[in-house]
């Protein structure tokens, strides 16, 4: 196959992946907004059930299963998900933080720890320093 055809194919794949990553980011932002409303309006459990479908479409695993995974397994699962760049991982951590506010104390603490681990993972591999991410980490650590 000629080089220019292979190169065009690779560009199309990258474009598709970038569109998918952008779509997942928008979906996660919408989920976070829905969770904030659900916690305030006291229909958290129903919203979690509805969000589950979206999470399965992104990760292939239900939200409840993701929440039950040990931290290390969760990180591996998220790293394997092509649609998660660092920005989407950070949004996922934000989503977990929102979810933690609707859980009992033990589950909330575990979920916050997972958010912290995700943000730390992003920090460890990112080439740029993020004041916003550091602020989130400090806030999460302070809430434990």
pLDDT in tens, 67-114: 899 999 999 988 888 778 899 899 999 999 999 988 889 999 999 999
Rounded to an integer, the average pLDDT of 12-29 is: 79
Residue by residue, DSSP assigns 31-93 as HHHHHHHHHHHT-HHHHHHHHHHHHHHHHSS-HHHHHHS-HHHHHHHHHH-TT--HHHHHHHH
> Where are the chain's structural domains?
3-143
Mean predicted confidence (pLDDT) in 115-131: 91
- What one-character DSSP code corresponds to residue 102? T
Q: What is the pTM of this model?
A: 0.81
Residue 108 neighbours by CB distance under 10 Å: 17
């Amino acid at each position: 196959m000629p080089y220019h055809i292979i190169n065009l194919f690779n560009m199309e794949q990258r474009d598709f992946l970038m569109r998918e990553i952008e779509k997942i980011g928008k979906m996660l932002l919408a989920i976070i907004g829905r969770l904030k409303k659900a916690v305030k309006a006291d229909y958290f459990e129903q919203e979690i059930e509805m969000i589950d479908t979206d999470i399965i479409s992104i990760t292939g695993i239900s939200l409840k299963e993701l929440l039950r995974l040990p931290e290390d397994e969760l990180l591996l699962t998220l790293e394997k998900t092509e649609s998660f760049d660092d920005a989407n991982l950070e949004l996922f951590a934000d989503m977990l933080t929102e979810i933690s506010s609707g859980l009992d104390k033990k589950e909330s603490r575990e979920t916050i720890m997972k958010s912290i681990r995700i943000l730390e993972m992003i920090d460890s591999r990112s080439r740029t320093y993020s004041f916003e991410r550091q602020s989130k980490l400090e806030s999460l650590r302070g809430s434990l």
